[in-house]
Amino acid sequence: MLGRRKPILRRFKTIKGAMMYSFSVLIIVALVIFWWIAYNYTKDTVFNNSIAYSSQIVKQVNSDIDSYINYMENISLIIMESKDVQDFLFENKSAEELVDARQRIISQIDTIRSSRDDIVNIAILSECGHVIVNQGIEGLNPYIEKESNQWYVDTLRAEDGVNISSSHVQNLIRSSYDWVITLSRMIENQQTGFVEGIFFIDLNYESISNLCNNSVMGESGYIFIIDEHGGIIYHPQQQLLYGELREEKIQEVLYSNQDYMLVEERDKNRLYTMYQSEKTNWTVVSVAYIDELLTYKDAAQVWYTIVTILLIVATVVISNMIARILSRPIGELQNAMDTVVKGEFKEVEVKIEDENELGALSKSFNIMTERIANLIDQNKFEQEEKRKSELRALQSQINPHFLYNTLDSIIWMSAARKNDEVVEMTSALSKLFRQSISNDNEELTIREEIEYVRNYLTIQKMRYADKLSYEFHVVDEIMEESIIKFALQPLVENTIYHGLKYKKEGGLLKVKGWFEKDQNRIVIELEDNGVGMTKEALQNIFKEKKIDHKKNGVGVLNVQRRLQLAYGIDYGIHYASEEGVGTVVTMHIPRREIIHES
């Protein structure tokens, strides 16, 4: 059972339904697939874009810092390479000359400091105790040893003699505790070749932090910088880190060999992107919250979803419209077909709007129905023609025996010199013939038909003398009604030859005619008191093979058929007979005016 189920599309009652259903399903499936791909693609793309964006920013910040440090190194070189520095620190000059050198250095430092807001301190110190700090007014903090500062030690050890410190509090200079980044250079005594002094510039911590803060990493993302040992150069939440209220993935960043990493922590996933400068060895790290990055994704995805839903609605509606338009001719064709099934061939022409298969089908349908209609017309015409020719055949068929017998009777009467009878019989015969050839009309009045029967009976009465008598009881009311030609005469003839002929004498034929009002029909009855018919004969009376052409050219069947052709199957003749009692033939015809066909 299950295996033999009909395909889904075949189970629809209408093609329209099938089209709508399948279109809708296809569209929805296609769009949902598209949506799913777009949805996931967005996620990946946004994520990858974020990584790309982050690395770009990190590199940008890094190069900003590098160029900044470069700039500061250049500034430091300007002072360093002046001969005054060597003179002041190492040469054995007179006190006056020393003061002059010192003054020149201070003015140079002053020029630089006044041109830049981001330089906190510029200082030169030598092992032997010569010191210049800024304008020469500030001195060193007497309670702090130089060597206790890591940057100082690092500078002396640096290969290229240059060191950049982490962010720290500058405690070397008296009464200043500024957060700075110290750029320092060792100073070589050109005479001895030993490192005997240090020059340093303290850079405002904010100059670095501003570089980081300028770049936005989403709502709560941030940028921080660490040195090669994992020391924090800058971190927006530095105090939280030192206060142990927050932790930062410094070790992970330091030992990561990729340029980005994902940190998953409870509900907050973060994207770390880092880049290490070759110049400073600092690593700039950007931290972005995935949730925030993906808000763009969410927005994009919401739009994808809305657009997809709208597209689904729109395309389903449109596809339904298309299905309706495409299937409309089928409906029309079906209606036309239904009409045809009911037997109406005229006026079923289908309007042809399409040029596709349905149009061709409709066209064929139209041609077909038209042809069928034509065939029906032709058929009717041919039937008519057939009837007419049958009628003609009837006309010419009456005669042979009857004519022979009649003429024989006339000869005998002439021989017996019964002139009156001859005249009467001949006259009746001539009337009979004239009537039968009088016109081609299929119908005539009952009066004319009755007259015809009367002439016929006149002849027969003369032939059979006492064996046959007849009466007419036809009401005048129906005399002008129409009846088909030769409807009565064959029946009368049949009555005589089959019923009355075999009776020795006293045969009586009553021809009655009246109007049955309640049925709105005309009844003509031939009642005889002949030998009657056997049941078998009665049953076979309408059967063709029983028609005895020799005796009677026109059968009862012929009359019956013609009546029913002309008036429909509700009308016709009916036999009632009893052996030895007689036979009653009843004919029903509708009441209507004579239609003379042209």
Partner 1 sequence: MKVSKREMILNTIFIIGCIGILVSAIYMMNVSKSREYKVVLVLKTSETMDFWINLISGAHMGAELYGVDFEIRAVDVETDVEGQIELIKETMVDAPDALLITSSTYSDLTPILEEIIETGVRVVLVDSIIDKDIVDSVVATDNVLAGEKIGRYAASLIEEGDIIGVISHIEDSSTAIERELGLRKGLGVKENCIIDVQFCYSSYERAEELTKEMILQYPNISMVIGLNDNATIGAGRAIKELGMGTQIRMVGIDASMEMIRYIEEGICDGIIVQKAFNMGFLGVEQAVKILMGDEVEAFIDSGCELITRDNLYEIENQKMLFPFQDKNLN
Determine how many CB atoms are found less than 10 A away from the CB of residue 308: 18
CB of 74 to partner 1, least distance (A): 23
Among 51, 98, 131, 316, binds partner 1 (CB under 8 A): 316
Q: Is there binding between residue 298 and partner 1 (CB under 8 A)?
A: yes
- Smallest gap from Cβ 156 to partner 1, in A, equals 18
Footprint of partner 1 on 184-203 (CB under 8 A):
none
State the DSSP code for 285: E
Which C-beta is closer to partner 1: that of 117 or that of 578?
Answer: 117
Does 171 participate in binding partner 1 (rule CB under 8 A)? yes
**Does the protein bind partner 1 through residue 148 (CB under 8 A)?**
yes
Q: Are 190 and 117 in contact (CB under 8 A)?
A: no
Does 204 participate in binding partner 1 (rule CB under 8 A)?
Answer: yes
Residue partners of 406: CB distance under 8 A and separation at least 6: 425, 429, 459, 463
Q: Shortest approach of partner 1 to residue 234 CB, angstroms?
A: 11
166 sits near partner 1 (criterion: CB under 8 A): yes
Q: Compute the least distance from the CB of residue 336 to partner 1, in Å.
A: 18
Residue from 310, 403, 423, 437 touching partner 1 (CB under 8 A): that is 310
- The contacts of residue 34 (CB under 8 Å, 6+ apart) are 308
**CB of residue 365 vs partner 1: minimum separation in angstroms?**
22
* Structure tokens, 362: 């409709």
Nearer to partner 1, 158 or 316 (CB): 316
Nearer to partner 1, 74 or 175 (CB): 175
Residues numbered 88-117 forming contacts with partner 1, rule: CB under 8 A: 117
Residues whose CB is less than 8 angstroms from the CB of residue 417 and which lie 6 or more positions away in sequence, other chains included: none
Footprint of partner 1 on 122-141 (CB under 8 A) = 141
Give the whole-angstrom CA distance, residue 362 versus residue 332: 9
Q: What is the CA radius of gyration of the chain?
A: 66
| The residue to which tokens 């980005």 are assigned | 260
Which among 54-62, 270-278, 314-322, 423-431 is the span making contact with partner 1, rule CB under 8 A?
Answer: 314-322
- The string of DSSP codes covering 234-256 is E-TTHHHHHTTSS---HHHHHH-
Dist. CA 224–CA 167, nearest whole Å: 12
By beta-carbon proximity to partner 1, the closer residue of 244 and 476 is: 244
**Among the residue ranges 63-71, 124-132, 309-317, 407-415, the one whose residues contact partner 1 (CB under 8 A):** 309-317
Report the distance separating Cα 482 and Cα 567, nearest Å: 11
Helices (H) and strands (E) in the chain, counts: 15, 17
Closer CB to partner 1, 288 or 487, in the complex: 288
Q: Does 320 bind partner 1 (CB under 8 A)?
A: yes
Name the residue among 193, 177, 188 with its Cα closest to residue 143. 177
Distance from the Cα of residue 413 to its chain's centroid: 97
How many other C-beta atoms lie within 10 A of the C-beta of residue 142? 7
Are 187 and 85 in contact, with CB atoms under 8 Å apart? yes
The reply to whether 175 sits near partner 1 by the rule CB under 8 A is yes
| 154 counts as binding partner 1 under rule CB under 8 A | no
Contact pick of 26, 77, 317, 411 for partner 1 (by CB under 8 A):
317
Identify which of 466, 430, 449, 468 has the alpha carbon closest to the alpha carbon of residue 587.
449
Q: 459 exposed, middle or buried (CB, 10 Å; 0-12, 13-18, 19+)?
A: buried
| Exposure class string for 332-369: b at 16+ Cβ within 10 A, else e | bbeebeeebeeeebeebebebeeeeebeebbeebbeeb
- Which region among 12-20, 393-401, 522-530, 545-553 touches partner 1 (by CB under 8 A)? 12-20
Torsion over CA of 425, 429, 431 and 436, rounded to 10 degrees? 160
What is the DSSP-derived secondary structure letter of residue 598? -
39 binds partner 1 (CB under 8 A): no
Q: Binding-site residue total for partner 1 (CB under 8 A)?
A: 49
Q: Which stretch binds partner 1 (CB under 8 A): 10-18, 265-273, 459-467, 571-579?
A: 10-18
Kindly state whether residue 206 participates in binding partner 1, applying the rule CB under 8 A.
yes
- Segment interacting with partner 1 (CB under 8 A) among 63-71, 169-177, 350-358, 532-540: 169-177
Q: Which is nearer to partner 1, 329 or 572 (CB)?
A: 329
Phi, psi of 470 (to 5 degrees): -145, 155
Contact pattern for partner 1 over residues 344 through 383, marking x by CB under 8 A: ----------------------------------------
Residues between 238 and 267 that touch partner 1 (CB under 8 A): 238-240, 242-243, 245
| Contact between 120 and partner 1 per CB under 8 A | yes
Residue 428 CA to residue 459 CA, distance in Å, equals 6
Q: Output 14 or 405, the one with its CB closest to partner 1.
A: 14
Q: Which residues bind partner 1 (CB under 8 A)?
A: 13-14, 16-17, 20-21, 24, 117, 120, 141, 143-144, 148-149, 166, 168-169, 171, 175, 177-180, 204-206, 220, 231-232, 237-240, 242-243, 245, 295, 298-299, 302, 305-306, 309-310, 312-313, 316-317, 320
